[in-house]
Structures are given as structure tokens and as C-alpha cells.
A and B are shown apart, each in its own frame.
Chain A
Amino acid sequence: QKEVEQNSGPLSVPEGAIASLNCTYSDRGSQSFFWYRQYSGKSPELIMFIYSNGDKEDGRFTAQLNKASQYVSLLIRDSQPSDSATYLCAVKQRAGKSTFGDGTTLTVKP
């Protein structure tokens, strides 16, 4: 079992819809959780981070964390074609490395 698992893609949604991306992790000692976006041929860039159970909203993006279930999700509301990318979930212990999932590729169709 991989340390960080993401729902298999690709995921395709129409423009204006909600895209839901999911991630589970195995290390209960994980303390910080990140969503990165990676456009094709580019490096990952941070979208959101979350530390506490519950929801965190930033514009069209909402991150949700449930530590008991070891589950993190990212919702993208009013999806735009420019949101088409691979979304990487990353999990970090108190100090040290971030461990990444293999990503979910999202396509938003106009």
C-alpha cells in the first residue's frame, strides 16, 4: 500500500461543475496536508494547505480534512478549462519530507 493514495483518474467535468478530488494517507502521525497543481511539463505549485480537521476555503477551492478517516479532499467549484491539470496530494510529518500521491488528472471541458 502506498503512503498516499489518490483516486484514479482521469477525471473529466464540464465547465462550471464541481470537481472532487480525494486522497487517503497511511501515516497517522501526518500533520500537514497539501494540494499542489501541476500543469503538463511544469513543476508542482501549491494550491492549498490544511492542518486541522474540517474545511478550509480559498476562493473556488475548498480543502477538507478528516484525520480520523485519514482522508483529504479538494473541491473545485465553478471549474474552468484553466483548471485542467494534475492535482497532487502531499502529506508531511512534523518535520521532514512531504510524501506525494501519484496525482489525479483533471480535464475541464468547455
Chain B
Amino acid sequence: DTGVSQDPRHKITKRGQNVTFRCDPISEHNRLYWYRQTLGQGPEFLTYFQNEAQLEKSRLLSDRFSAERPKGSFSTLEIQRTEQGDSAMYLCASSSTGSTGELFFGEGSRLTVL
């Protein structure tokens, strides 16, 4: 198992453009999480899935953000009409039900909005 993988690792875009990130979790993990982290802050929860169901979404999450996990495997996070404040590291993590609850993180996708 290669762990959680994220793509792309870096994305530079202009304000107003749409961006999409992909996350492939550890294959036997049925839970998938998206977090956002900025410098000097801890990871901020965005949303999570159990299998293909999106079970929770942060109240802070603008409607410009949408996430999917159509077949309960990989997930995508799309940000529409990006703003400079969206610049951050987007972290994906996975875990399995019945486990300790430990999160296994990918290397992250760094977004820079110019």
C-alpha cells in the first residue's frame, strides 16, 4: 500500500479560476477527510465521507467548495471562483471505521491564488 496520495502537489492559479484536487485514500479505508491548513495554523476541517456518503461539511465552508467521492474510493475537492484567501495547503486523510480513529494524511496539495 502506497498510502494516501494527492494530486496535484502544487497548483498556481489566477483569482476567479476553478481548481480541482484529487485524493486517493489507503485502499481499505472507508473514511476520507479534507482539511485546509495555512501557515502557523492547525488543519481546519472541511468535510468528510464514509464510503460515498458525505456525512459532515464545515459550516465555515463557502458554497464555492464542493467535494465528491462518487464510488467510495477516490475523492475530488473543487474550488470555484478562487480567491486569494483560498491559498493554503489542502490535506486529505483517510481512516477506517473500527480503528483508533488515527488519520493517515497525504502529502497535501498546495494552492496559490494570484
- What is the interface of chain A, defined by CB distance below 8 A to chain B? 4, 32, 34, 36, 42-46, 49, 88, 90, 92, 96-103
Contacts and interface: CB of A to CB of B under 8 A. Distances in A.
Interface string B94-113: 00000011110111100000
B85 interface: no
Interface residues of B, number: 20
Given A43-B91, A102-B41, A96 B102 contact: no
Nearest to B4: A43
Overall SS of chain A's interface? strand
Interface in B67-92: 91
Interface in B2-50: 33, 35, 40-45, 48
B42 A34 contact: no
A96 B40 contact: no
Contact of B105 (A34, A44, A92): A44
B60 interface: no
A21 to B, nearest CB: 13
B100 A49 contact: yes
Contact of A43 (B44, B48, B106): B106
B42 A101 contact: yes
19 contacts: A4-B42, A32-B101, A36-B103, A43-B105, A43-B106, A44-B103, A44-B105, A49-B102, A88-B43, A90-B103, A92-B101, A96-B48, A96-B55, A97-B33, A97-B56, A99-B45, A100-B42, A100-B45, A101-B42
Given A49-B100, A96-B55, A97-B56, A43 B41 contact: no
